Amino acid sequence: MEMRQFGNSNVQITPILMGTWQAGKKMWVGIEDDDSIKTIRAAFEAGITTIDTAEVYGEGHSEQIIAAALSDVRDRVQYATKVFANHLKYNLVIEACDRSLQNLKTDYIDLYQIHWPSGSFNSEIVPIEETMSALNQLQEQGKIRAIGVSNFSGDQLIEASQYGRIDSLQPPYSLFWRQVEQDAMSYCIENNISILAYSPLAQGLLTGKFAPDQKFDPQDNRAKNKLFQGENFQRAQQALEKLRPLAASHDCSLAQLALAWLIAQPQTSAIAGARYPEQAKDNALAVNIQLSAAEIAEIDAIGRIVTDHLDNNSVMWNW
């Protein structure tokens, strides 16, 4: 898989990243460690060498699963993890990074990200200057190679950039969830900041596998995802029907079509999760789909069947 330059750093990443929220088990149902390890390994063998995780995914469990899957090929993979909103004071950032290094069984993290802005989830307000100071220190020490932010607005990204080089923004971004295009994308393009799109398949909605009467376990985070509610879900079904002929014309799945559209957007790579090895292999194949400008525009228009009716709140869940 052809690598992409990551921001202004000396790191390179794959256009499709392996997402591992589910490997942490918390807020997911029916996840088995053995499956997660095999799936992460299958992603690597299919060419996806950039792996995204976070300390909060199962309180370090996801990071530990990644280490179990990939420690023997550490020199050929890129680890991206995140510090949570309750650990943004200087000393807590340092401690969180050291924990992640231990969980990942490595002496450096390729990309270390602020997971949510200070104050999220009723966390203590910490000046971004203090958090960035800790991240800059970690980078100088060689413990991290690049700094990123996740779930930041354009204004928050600009403020953080005053205190150090930001190489990536990780927003929710898919054909069915596109607020970043109206907010931070222009700044990212102007400043060569990579966009790492999470939930690129709208938590599975863009696979087309969910029936109109789908019901989720209350412990499944998708039970509170706005896209799976009421008219949003019905509009998504309409859009998926219009996407099916395009997928058929490329002999690919709806998921692969959605990923191909996303990684064709400016500065954008996609973090695609998977429960099972075959899903990871299928995600990797999306890089082989070549969409014409006309097809990209057609897919864009179909996606707006859903997105034109959403509000400007960038959080995908009714938490």
- Residue-wise pLDDT for 261-298, tens only, equals 999 999 999 999 999 999 999 999 999 999 999 999 99
Residues marked as catalytic? 57
186 token code pair: 């222009």
Coil/strand/helix, residue 274? coil
H helices of 75-229, where? Answer: 90-104, 128-140, 154-161, 179-182, 185-190
**What is the predicted pLDDT for the residue at 125?**
98
Mean per-residue pLDDT for 143-160? 98
Mean pLDDT rounded to a whole number for the chain: 96
- Residue-wise pLDDT for 13-66, tens only, equals 999 999 999 999 998 889 999 999 999 999 999 999 999 999 999 999 999 999
The DSSP result for 88-128, as a single string, is: -SHHHHHHHHHHHHHHHT-S-BSEEEE-S-TTGGGPPP--H
Cβ burial, residue 215 (10 Å; 0-12/13-18/19+):
exposed
Every domain of the chain and the residues it spans: 4-207+254-291
Q: Above 80 in pLDDT, residue 319?
A: no
Q: Which CATH architecture has domain 4-207+254-291?
A: Alpha-Beta Barrel (3.20)
**What is the predicted pLDDT for the residue at 224?**
87
**What is the predicted pLDDT for the residue at 206?**
96
Mean per-residue pLDDT for 155-166? 98
Work out the pLDDT band at 78, boundaries 50, 70, 90: very high
Work out the pLDDT band at 212, boundaries 50, 70, 90: confident
Q: Above 90 in pLDDT, residue 312?
A: no
